Structure 1
């Protein structure tokens, strides 16, 4: 059993408090799959843990979870077991190699691919149980704009969109941001550009997206949506090597260019989310 969360006393029902997107919860999301979102989530968590933060990553991709694959973990208990009452929340939390905690989802759970009232209630209960025990909770969401993804994102105080320089990734990132602005009234979206070829490419890409948003996406009259460039993660052979070995790059190759970039990203997240009063 994980020591971070104490079990609910026997016979006492768990009563979650009200959920507001004000806690130190960061949703890591993307418009397109395959851009390295889960890889970024896991290594960002390791970088934050290295800085002394108490971090949990929740695999919020309830239908196609793969955080366990990235971390080379074989969980006996998953979110599915917590949702169905077969296990308690504290029993499903495990320690990852990078010094942070994870709450893993099972893959291929069709019943969680749609946002039913039960899924919504279960998700709220889980988040309520986690928030008091960690400095920051990362939600590794699915890609795209399904109702499950959007609901997970709605629980976060901040959103980090991961994209690559590929046109399809940027088109889908724009579509995702547009929906987040329209449906969740997001005014600030943070971006990290993965697999960049040259230093400065990511900032240029973010600026281009900002120009498109300024023209076509209106938050409120006289109020613009603001994209904040959080950094570039350069294309690095060490990334593929870590993925193929199912290892955390931050622990096995901390001096490689991509790992150094994620360390810088962790510093910015720490300054803007963790050390800032909510």
Structure 2
């Protein structure tokens, strides 16, 4: 895997200037207030939105006020995962057709969501208007919740990188497949180089065996140690947050458009998400010294 990661074009070209002279990736934005976690991935189809939604449900069960903000502007599918049919989306807020408060709705599982519109080509690039509107939404909502999960798009587009830059922590979702791991490495490399991040957190979805995720994290860390140096001169640190096992109940819940934490809370994948929520709670959400 090390050779594949170090030699693929996706990994080597990750920090190249974007074609067309468009906006470049951003450094971490100033603190907004509230705990903000970006849930992202190097490629699509790895279960990022599934993790975002079910992690939100698990954190809600632990007593936290949780908001999931769909920041996959233009290709949103959080509404599909949650079986929601919103009348008002971020598109309506951005265009002034509706106030932000009307876009916040309750999701199954007891947490709040703000959904983005789907198929909106105008949100495929980070224009000054999109940047300003999205930042205003986050600044308004984040202080009202214990934690905000940003369900970002996949990859390293300027829209994805901007939404990730607004988060205090980054949770990268990957699967054991080589393409997923290669793209995860490329995304992590960009976060180190462009956003000056010192660490990111990794969740391995669809793990075949117990311990696979920790082994994968160790392999990725070895590649990062060789090729990615942070602003401090130290290697980018990859923190293993947990594995979600390959589990037929996941597909069943997705096809039913139900939260796994509600549909089959005793399944192996649901138990793993509960463990992930416990780790997020203890490492990121508890006051220092508690």
User: What is the TM-score with the length of structure 1 in the denominator?
Assistant: 0.92
Alignment map for 1:1-278 (pairs within 5 Å) = 19-20=30-31, 23-220=34-231, 222-277=233-288
Runs of 4+ that moved beyond 4 A? none
Question: Aligned residue for 1:10?
Answer: none
| SS of equivalent residue, structure 2 residue 226 | helix
* Mapped partners of 2:194, 2:111: distance in 1: 32
Maintained 8 Å contact 1:21/1:157: no
Aligned residues of 1:19 and 1:124 also touching (Cα < 8 A): no
Give me the whole-angstrom Cα distance separating, in 2, the residues matched to 1:233 and 1:50: 18
SS in 2 for 1:34: coil
Report if aligned partners of 1:22, 1:157 keep a CA contact under 8 Å in 2: no
Given that 1:63 and 1:108 are in contact with CA atoms closer than 8 Å, whether structure 2 keeps it comes out as yes
The more displaced of 218-227 and 177-186 is 218-227
3-state SS, counterpart of residue 191 of structure 1: strand
**How many positions carry a matched residue from both structures?**
261
Tell me: CA distance 1:121–1:87, structure 2 relative to 1, closer, same or farther (3 Å): same
Segments of structure 1 that go 5 or more residues without pairing to the other structure are: 1-17
CA RMSD of aligned residues (A): 1.3
Give unpaired runs (5+ residues) of structure 2.
Answer: 1-28
Partners of 1:53 and 1:263 in 2: CA distance: 13
The structural deviation recorded for 1:22 is 6.3
Relative to 1, partners in 2 of residues 1:235 and 1:111: Cα closer, same or farther, differing over 3 Å?
same
Q: Distance in 2 between matches of 1:55 and 1:245?
A: 23
Contact 1:38 1:140 (C-alpha < 8 Å) held by counterparts: yes
- Alpha-carbon deviation of 1:131? 1.2
Q: Is the 8 A contact 1:163 1:194 kept in 2?
A: yes
Q: Contact 1:57–1:101 (CA<8 Å) still a contact in 2? A: yes
Indicate the larger mover: 124-133 or 221-230: 221-230
- Secondary structure at 1:20 match in 2: coil
Q: With structure 2 as the length reference, what TM-score do the two structures score?
A: 0.88
